[in-house]
Structure 1
Amino acid sequence: MSTRKRATRAGALTLAIASAFTLAASSAASTVTSAGIQGSGKAVHVHPMTWGSRDAANLPTPLPTSQCLTQLGINCYSPLQYRSAYDLNPLYQAGITGKGKTILIVDSYGSPTIQSDLEVFDKQWGLPDTTVDVRKFGNVPAFDPNDSTMVSWAEETTLDVEYAHAIAPGAKIVLAETAVAETEGVTGLPEMMDAEKSLIDAGVPDVISQSFGATEDTFPGFDQHDFSSLTNLRYAYKDAAAHHVTVLASSGDNGVTSQTLDGNGFFPYPANSWPSADPLVTSIGGTYPAIDDTGKRLAPDVTGNDNDLLFPGGVVGGGGQSHVFKRPDYQDGVKAVVGAQRGTPDISFSATLSGAAWVYFSFTRPGWHLIAGTSESCPIMSGVVALADQVAGHRLGTINPALYQLGRLSANPKLGKFTGLQDVTVGDISDHDVTGPAAGPGYDMATGWGTIDGAYFVPALAFAASTHGD
């Protein structure tokens, strides 16, 4: 396709969305230090969301979905299948690749082999090569393959980088590796927020992908309704909003509850995680998409554990009410669902091991592996936002007001298609003997507004965020 035809097609997509929403309108930084948290005598555990999933397989070459079903008993998906299932190929054909935009990925420790692993990943799927811009913050320790925590973060880093790049192949990838000391009271969150703020102030990222979280209820002072140890960490997100940077976070993989302070159990009642629950952050939940070898959808997405064959009893996402943050203005239209508190997630993508993603890494057990969880859905969404940034021609900033505007319009029988939102109405996120929200028509705290048809959603988000404002 010629450059002129690609540009014309991209313009037509944007114009179609703009026309639809014009019609709709006419018809209707403070800082906190590690020492500050140490003073409570508690250690808040920040962890990669891959901890809520499981790593399966270790093969010299990836298998197609049909063979995974017969040999492993689960679905397995490639980035090319996701690009098809989320209808992103028309955008790539129109020259929308995230070119000129930067995705910042933040992970403790990082991976010592991320560049060479990404090159193997790209060659396998015919993706363009890119150089990962690694920025180290603090004295990042040397990788120890016998350290399970380091291995978990390296797996997380691999998943984040490979899938952000796969969805937005033209975008620049910056990886912030932070040094997290595993001593009592040091959480790693101040280091992550410092790294983000530093890069935001330097003008580096357009969108930030965060596949990590810590349970709100475990922060010091929570039992006394003193949330300052958490809210004092928000300076990076306030800075992002001021610089029109979009911030995303995984909603978690433990349903409506989350991990206890020792990291070995779960609260026996609903508990949310931060930063997913932050009103300045877009919370990315999880679904199970049924996709064939070519990337064709075989059925609408669902959530919950009904289809999770490898990980029985575990759900594919997280959500519910925040115990810290009140309902933000953009959720006023769904107050019947979220009540007086911030509700999560906002939108969802593939996250279940019944449809796990192929990744390649070589820092230990070299080969192709299957990993899932909302650690997967968040970098996918970061790529989608980079595409929308390119369509808009500028950063979209805090996208939640625009996303909820699209959600309201998605119920309109004449205009709903143009929002690109696809409702998820089956499943719930009950888990660990705690009853959770169920998916249903419209917004819910199981999958948010559902998932997307990217050919419509990307230009719709670009238009809505550009006209709605922050």
Structure 2
Amino acid sequence: MKHRLIQMLWLWVVAAVVLGAGLVGMSVMASAQTNQRVPMVGQTVPLVKQAKKVGDMQAQQTMKLSVGLKLQHQEELSQLLQDIYNPSSTHYRQFLTPQQFAERFSPTHEQQQQVVDYLNNQGLTVDNVAPNGLLINAHGSVKQVETTFQVPLHTYQVGKRTFYANEHAPSIPASLSALILSVGGLDNSVQLHPLSQRVPTPRAGFAQPELAGAYDINPLYQAGIQGKGQTVAVFELDGYQPADISQFATKHNLPQPDLTNVLVDGFDGSAGAGAIEAELDIQVINEIAPLAKQLIYEGPNSTAGVNDTYNRIVTDNQAQLVSVSWGQCEAQSGAAELQTLDGIFKQAAAQGISIFAASGDSGAYDCNDQTLSVDSPAGDPYVTGVGGTNLQLGNGGTYGSESAWSGPNDTQRSPNGAGSGGGLSNTFSKPAWQVGPGVDNQYSNGMRQVPDVAADADPQSGYAVYCTVAASGCPTSGDVTIGGTSAAAPLWAGSAALINEFLQQHGQQRIGWANPLLYQLANNTQTYAPFHDVTSGNNLYYFAAANYDLTTGLGSPDVYNIARDGINGTATTGNVPPSATPTPTGTPTVPVPPIATPTPSVTPVQSPANVASQP
């Protein structure tokens, strides 16, 4: 009996040892899997290949990071967006609130905390998590950042330019690879640039009477439609001078605009080298939609600043429309950053926000080299890319003709010349809604095609602007003529504000994400022709043609016709003013009556995360 008891105890000891060893082995394996790292896709810096390494970064230098997180349930989101913009769906134009979007598609609080904990455990300081959980801002020393993402950071030189960048793709723990989409701020190799072009020799640019006459806006003005009740968010990476905005309105007999500044990430709102871009955007919106409210979102020209400014616009959810005149080519942006922005733009679409972005001013060569490329964010499917034309007026200041903007001798930005940005995305596939005559062409390769629409952009048929900011190169006289697709984008945003007001007066919802509607209008016979089809000219590579083309998209707007087509057959037209014929001829120019407000109302609004840094 005693022997048997000893034998049983011995067996128990052996079993315990075996079990313990197994548990230890499993723990080691789990630890190994947790500690395993994976490189991040789309996070290399293209410019590094052309550059010479000149040194290491200072170990204690502070870096600011913008960590992008992935959306959840993306298939469900794609289906919902299709339903929201499908007139046959019961969910048609049933837009979400930011809270509803976050609950359904943002990473959970637990997932956000996983990333926060990892960054904190590596010694980085987490500054804030965006309300929608898609961005986490953090900062730390170069040494801490290199350790966190296991990537060396160096300084590089190309020509006379010096920048810093990661030597190769950063890596993250495998356990976080399903959550983290991008790490912005590891390099400063590129910055967004304003997409405007100055006329070398002074000439009188188009103003509200000419633009309204050419693009058939006057019938809406006659009906009292001036953008009342609409809010346009203006994306800027520089400030502006309020006195210039006031003077422009006075000179052109326009109402003084209702402006509110929203300062992001500590930006102080001062007018710098890019101020002429901000003033162009504000002034064009003011003359197209005089009674629309404008929220001027101003952030730093950095990856974190760009991400946070877009995200602030969307999570604030105060604007129905967004005008963007800053961009850079897709290849320089990088796939990871493009996908981060895409998530923000999807939320905008779900909330019913229209985004109009300039397609670029370097023609088909947006990277300013010999490579065919398109601009971001115009290349994103949830953004309406706006190309450029040369507009010629007809008799009486009405629409005459347009050709694709092409300036092969204008090499101030690109060695190939200037022109309407357009071509094929290298990142985004051609969406299901991008169909119609001309869309399938000899260049089609299954990728997203840019632009979607166009408007006047050639500096030779440009816009009258008033700017006195010396840092922007503006003259002391203030009067300057500006072109570029960065003028066409606010023209479309302002026009959409008018269309929204018209639709709402007829019992309908606003446009929201504009692309599905624009292609629906082009693909179905309309009572009134919605677009001027631009069939001549080129953008240094692609040629304009009948219907859709890669220089001017579907064409330029007949604003009144788009508004009427939007309600045609689905709402009572009521006392709609008589129109000119569907083809653009002879609508009289009717000036917008001024509203007695002596100066622009400018209210600075500070980002909660940056109140302490504001003066």
Q: Secondary structure at the match of 1:336?
A: coil
1:5-404 matches, cutoff 5 A: 30-31=134-135, 36-39=183-186, 41=187, 43-50=189-196, 53-56=197-200, 68=203, 76-111=205-240, 113=241, 115-141=242-268, 143=270, 150-151=272-273, 153-180=274-301, 188-220=302-334, 227-259=335-367, 266-291=368-393, 295-297=397-399, 299-305=400-406, 314-333=417-436, 335-337=439-441, 338-364=444-470, 365-366=475-476, 367-393=478-504, 394-404=509-519
**CA shift for structure 1 position 142:** 6.6
Counterpart Cα distance in 2 of 1:390 and 1:373: 27
**CA shift for structure 1 position 373:** 0.2
**CA shift for structure 1 position 272:** 1.0
Q: Relative to 1, partners in 2 of residues 1:309 and 1:277: Cα closer, same or farther, differing over 3 Å?
A: closer
Amino acid across the alignment from 1:31: L
Counterpart Cα distance in 2 of 1:104 and 1:396: 15
Partner of 1:429: 539
Counterpart Cα distance in 2 of 1:154 and 1:463: 41
Q: Deviations over 1:377-409 (max 9, x none)?
A: 000000011011111213311111110011123
**CA shift for structure 1 position 141:** 4.4
Q: Relative to 1, partners in 2 of residues 1:465 and 1:46: Cα closer, same or farther, differing over 3 Å?
A: farther
Counterpart Cα distance in 2 of 1:179 and 1:163: 23
Unaligned runs of 5+ in 1: 1-20, 23-28, 59-67, 69-74, 145-149, 181-187, 221-226, 260-265, 431-435
Q: Deviations over 1:181-238 (max 9, x none)?
A: xxxxxxx243233233323333310000000111111134xxxxxx223212223212
Partner of 2:611: none
**CA shift for structure 1 position 167:** 0.4
Counterpart Cα distance in 2 of 1:321 and 1:110: 32
Q: Relative to 1, partners in 2 of residues 1:204 and 1:142: Cα closer, same or farther, differing over 3 Å?
A: closer
Counterpart Cα distance in 1 of 2:309 and 2:567: 27
Counterpart Cα distance in 1 of 2:382 and 2:299: 22
Counterpart Cα distance in 1 of 2:548 and 2:209: 28
Counterpart Cα distance in 2 of 1:440 and 1:283: 18
Q: Secondary structure at the match of 2:488?
A: helix
Q: Secondary structure at the match of 1:232?
A: helix
Q: Please, what TM-score do these two structures have when normalized by structure 2? A: 0.58
Partner of 2:114: none
Q: Relative to 1, partners in 2 of residues 1:335 and 1:295: Cα closer, same or farther, differing over 3 Å?
A: closer
Q: Deviations over 1:257-306 (max 9, x none)?
A: 112xxxxxx22120111100000000000000112695233x31001337
Q: Secondary structure at the match of 2:539?
A: coil
Unaligned runs of 5+ in 2: 1-86, 89-105, 107-133, 140-182, 572-615
**CA shift for structure 1 position 100:** 0.1
Q: Relative to 1, partners in 2 of residues 1:341 and 1:83: Cα closer, same or farther, differing over 3 Å?
A: same
Amino acid across the alignment from 2:184: I
Counterpart Cα distance in 2 of 1:310 and 1:405: 37
CA contact (8 A) 2:333 2:376 kept: no
Counterpart Cα distance in 1 of 2:396 and 2:304: 43
Counterpart Cα distance in 2 of 1:309 and 1:381: 25
Counterpart Cα distance in 1 of 2:458 and 2:362: 12
Q: Relative to 1, partners in 2 of residues 1:305 and 1:162: Cα closer, same or farther, differing over 3 Å?
A: same
Q: Please, what TM-score do these two structures have when normalized by structure 1? A: 0.75
CA contact (8 A) 1:396 1:462 kept: no
Q: Secondary structure at the match of 1:267?
A: coil
Q: Indicate the structure whose relative CO is greater, using CA pairs within 8 Å and at least 6 residues apart.
A: 1
**CA shift for structure 1 position 179:** 2.2
Q: Secondary structure at the match of 2:258?
A: coil
CA contact (8 A) 2:323 2:490 kept: yes
CA contact (8 A) 1:106 1:209 kept: yes
**CA shift for structure 1 position 128:** 1.1
**CA shift for structure 1 position 97:** 1.0
Task: Please list every run of at least 4 consecutive aligned residues from structure 1 whose deviation after the TM superposition is greater than 3 angstroms.
Answer: 32-35, 55-58, 141-144, 306-316, 332-335, 461-466
CA contact (8 A) 2:388 2:421 kept: yes
Counterpart Cα distance in 2 of 1:464 and 1:31: 43
Amino acid across the alignment from 2:564: P
Q: Secondary structure at the match of 2:550?
A: coil
